[in-house]
Amino acid sequence: MLLRAALLLLVLLLPTLSARAGQLDRAALEKYFPPPLVVGEKDDRLPVWPILKQQAGAYEVFAYAFESVDLAPIPGFGGTPPDLLIALAPDGTFRDVKVIAHHEPVFLEGLGSEPLFAFVEQYAGLSARQAIRVGRPNARAAGAAPQTTVDGISMATASTRVINQSILASALAVARAKLGFGAANVGLKVEARADLYEPLTLADLVARGWVGRLTVTNAHAASAFKGTGVEDRAEGRPDAVLTDLIVAYLNVPTIGRNLLGEVRYDALMRELGPGNHAVMVISAGPEDAPENPIGDRFVLGAVPERLAVGQGGLIVNARDMAVERRDAGRAEGLPPGPWTILRIDQAAGFDPSAAWVLAETIVRERGQILSEKIARAFPVETKLPADLFTRVRPEDGPNWTDPWRARGPELGLIGLMLAVLVPVLSRQRGLVADGRRFALFRLGFLALTLGFVGWYAQAQLSIVTLVGLVRAATVSHDLAFLLYDPPSLVLWVFALAALVAWGRGTFCGWLCPFGALQEFVALLARPLRIRQLAVPARLDRALRPVKYVVLVGILGAAAAGSPLADTVSEVEPFKTAITLSFVRSWPFVAYAAGLLVLNLFVYKGFCRYLCPLGAGLALLGRARILDWIPRRAECGSPCQLCKVRCRYGAIAPSGRIDYAECFQCMECVTIIHDPEQCVPQVVARKRAHRAAPRPVTVG
């Protein structure tokens, strides 16, 4: 009846609830971007706000601001997407990331939101062109690449992966629309083939188009500046050279080794590092060329003001490498003029196997009092053959595949545990029939459940997942959040399959870490001389429905979009005792500890009377197809041994098993297969012994 009421409530609420949208207007954004920054007009096609900054008398785009929930509403483990304010610079780097709202259970009244705030701050300065991954806590300090890795948060691995995916997916949506690049090159790794080398002269390389040459004469400049009033500023003949540059991509051995020599090339590649790129620019014009950008004013180690590398209509960040100029070892035949080697970092998303340009900007001034600067760019394109490179595409598939690969060892051990558990429970005349050996096996398995599944793998199943499912059904209509926590998902699939075969008890009695913790605490009752209480039958019957009322209340609040769902879910102590290992504020610790103390007197009282997850599993377990616990005709009448021994109260006086309350401890199965314990077998054996003729002594 209670389940029908909960389902009816969900059906009624489904049409009225819609997916969340961004909540920030111009006034709210101005608080995040105060003067001298200015919030521009919201884009007509995309929910993006340009953030402007005054530069040289004009406003330039400082960043594009947007909310992740508008562009990538990926549900978190609370069932609703996190809402993040992201500021993306025109070059594709993150200016800032802020948390606007979230419903991640591990941070709500758990770790607190501060670790989450610190987590998203790591994205400032990283590039959306890179495939950024969440590492382990302190991964950067341990040597992980700081350009492609952010430190994870202990006990919040799955939630941080959802946050990371939300940031990257929404940023790439903006990048495709505003910055001219998208997901195609994110994570793409292009490297020059080291095994290809051919001795060639500079003239050969230029003839093949592998080395570019940019020559700008007075006539070319006049044509570019035509109509501006400054086209005739150059002195000399029309064919006089203003600038003459040689441009070469050095990573390719046939280019770099021929231009630099083998020793200098090898040294440069070591200094450059894997994944990065080097472009050489040499001035080949006369020393007095008026527009030479690499003259005496060039600052070593700086970003050249008048030189720019571009690809796909986007400027690529390139900086002088400050290579030692003395004894540089340049090959013979190169012009003697000034030169630079520009470094392009891997994070820039530069693809040397595709066409790219180097452009020199020439600036002229017009007017004497209020002068106006007029600039024109003169590009030279380089297109190298694709077979000079190896290209490694980003791994196919959505980013939820990353945690499955990263947690492979944990999944392997969990799979082994389940593979061992199934035959042990299904072949009852094997290990289960031996009371002593089975008791040792059960304690060992529960120790793995508590220590490995719970505290290490963080795979404690919880009502929070059901809350997330309800919110996904009513708000986001997306169940992808389940894929970011592989161990929990595997256990959910197994638990649901076990419901059909055996009922609730497989999870509650074997795979619940908090349930295992209660069983170990209960072992202290005997040495502490604590006598566990038997709950009177009438009180037991009155208390059992409470967990169903709690379940309906939580799911109803979730369906109604009420934050009470998160609050009431704290009736579960799982987050405190297992996920956070009791590292939490004292009221939550006191509550969890109180339930464990109660367990010393009333065996698994929380599981039997309060647990909403257990209630949900018990309801679903009514689809069970097997009555798998063996019974005898004498069970219940006259034998009551199994009923007396059952600490869960799952056996009725008639001997019938109440599978909704059975925790599959298997003690009754051990008894019924043990001829020394099972009363009908003991009685039958005694009767047979009395009926047998006794030997008579003849004197």
134 band by pLDDT with thresholds 50, 70 and 90: confident
Residue 5 covered by a domain: no
Tell me: pLDDT of 36 over 90.
no
Q: What percent of the chain has pLDDT over 70?
A: 85
CA 28 to chain centroid, in Å, comes to 28
Amino acid at the residue 154? S
Worst-scoring range by mean pLDDT, 53-67, 192-206, 450-464, 547-561? 53-67
394 band by pLDDT with thresholds 50, 70 and 90: low
- Find tokens 């102590």 and name the residue: 573
Residues 599 and 497 in one domain: yes
pLDDT, residue 519, reads 92
Worst-scoring range by mean pLDDT, 36-40, 115-119, 695-699? 695-699
Q: How far apart are alpha carbons 420 and 494 in whole angstroms?
A: 13
Reported pTM: 0.62
Residue 557 covered by a domain: yes
> pLDDT tens digits for 339-371?
888 888 776 678 899 899 998 888 777 766 666
Residue 695 covered by a domain: no
Residue 699 covered by a domain: no
pLDDT, residue 74, reads 79
397 band by pLDDT with thresholds 50, 70 and 90: very low
Of 246, 241, 341, 334, nearest to 288 by C-alpha is 241
Q: How far apart are alpha carbons 198 and 211 in whole angstroms?
A: 14
Of 205, 242, 106, 101, nearest to 569 by C-alpha is 106
pLDDT, residue 516, reads 93
Tell me: pLDDT of 332 over 70.
no
pLDDT, residue 581, reads 83
Cα–Cα distances in Å, from 69 out to 74, 75, 165, 167, 562? 8, 9, 12, 10, 19
Of 183, 199, 229, the domain-final residue: 183
Residue 6 covered by a domain: no
Q: What percent of the chain has pLDDT over 90?
A: 24
> pLDDT tens digits for 263-314?
888 888 888 888 889 999 988 877 666 677 776 666 677 677 788 888 876 6
pLDDT, residue 104, reads 81
Q: What tokens were used for 417? A: 């545990």
Collapsing DSSP to helix, strand or coil, 587 comes out as helix
pLDDT, residue 14, reads 38
Residues 141 and 207 in one domain: no
**Do residues 390 and 188 touch, judged by C-beta distance below 8 A?**
no
> pLDDT tens digits for 468-499?
888 777 765 667 777 878 899 999 999 999 99
Residues 562 and 448 in one domain: yes
**Do residues 569 and 464 touch, judged by C-beta distance below 8 A?**
yes
**Do residues 468 and 75 touch, judged by C-beta distance below 8 A?**
yes
Q: Report which secondary-structure segment, H or E, holds 279.
A: strand 277-283
Q: How many distinct structural domains can be found in the chain?
A: 3
Half-sphere exposure of 154 (CA within 13 A, CB side): 8
Residues 331 and 210 in one domain: yes
Q: How far apart are alpha carbons 446 and 402 in whole angstroms?
A: 29
Residue 691 covered by a domain: no
pLDDT, residue 298, reads 67
Residues 521 and 421 in one domain: yes
Of 362, 392, 422, the domain-final residue: 392
Cis peptide before 638 (omega within 30 of 0): yes
Of 217, 119, 104, 226, nearest to 164 by C-alpha is 119
Of 212, 213, 187, 181, nearest to 316 by C-alpha is 181
Residues 212 and 259 in one domain: yes
Q: Report which secondary-structure segment, H or E, holds 516.
A: helix 513-522
When mean pLDDT is compared over 1-5, 79-83, 93-97, 632-636, the highest value belongs to: 93-97
Residue 591: partners with Cβ closer than 8 Å, 6 or more residues away: 570, 573, 576
Of 125, 111, 122, nearest to 157 by C-alpha is 111
When mean pLDDT is compared over 201-205, 402-406, 685-689, the highest value belongs to: 201-205
11 band by pLDDT with thresholds 50, 70 and 90: very low
Residue 351 covered by a domain: yes
pLDDT, residue 672, reads 85
> pLDDT tens digits for 161-176?
889 888 988 888 888 7
> pLDDT tens digits for 618-676?
999 888 887 888 888 888 888 888 888 888 888 888 888 888 888 888 888 888 888 88
**Do residues 381 and 212 touch, judged by C-beta distance below 8 A?**
yes
Tell me: pLDDT of 416 over 70.
yes
Mean pLDDT for 188-215 is 89
Q: What tokens were used for 154? A: 């202990």
Residues 194 and 54 in one domain: no
> pLDDT tens digits for 211-268?
999 988 888 888 888 877 776 666 668 888 888 889 999 999 999 999 888 888 888 8
Domain limits at 35? Answer: 20-183
Residue 633: partners with Cβ closer than 8 Å, 6 or more residues away: 680
Q: What are phi and psi of 182, to 5 degrees?
A: -150, -155
Residue 342: partners with Cβ closer than 8 Å, 6 or more residues away: 278, 279, 280, 281, 304, 307, 309, 318, 319, 320, 321
Residues 82 and 61 in one domain: yes
Of 366, 392, 418, the domain-final residue: 392
Residues 385 and 444 in one domain: no
Residues 359 and 471 in one domain: no
Alpha helices in 407-512 (DSSP H): 408-426, 435-448, 463-471, 486-501, 505-506
Q: How far apart are alpha carbons 639 and 658 in whole angstroms?
A: 17
Could you give the angle at the alpha carbon of 542 between the alpha carbons of 537 and 548, nearest 5°? 130
Q: Compute the mean pLDDT over every residue in the chain, rounded to the nearest whole number.
A: 82
Strand partners, 381: 357
Of 32 and 181, the structure prediction assigns the larger pLDDT to 32
Of 675 and 86, the structure prediction assigns the larger pLDDT to 86
Alpha helices in 182-234 (DSSP H): 202-208, 218-224
**Do residues 99 and 66 touch, judged by C-beta distance below 8 A?**
no
Residues 108 and 239 in one domain: no
pLDDT, residue 610, reads 93
pLDDT, residue 109, reads 65
Q: How far apart are alpha carbons 357 and 312 in whole angstroms?
A: 9
Residues 226 and 356 in one domain: yes
Residue 399 covered by a domain: no
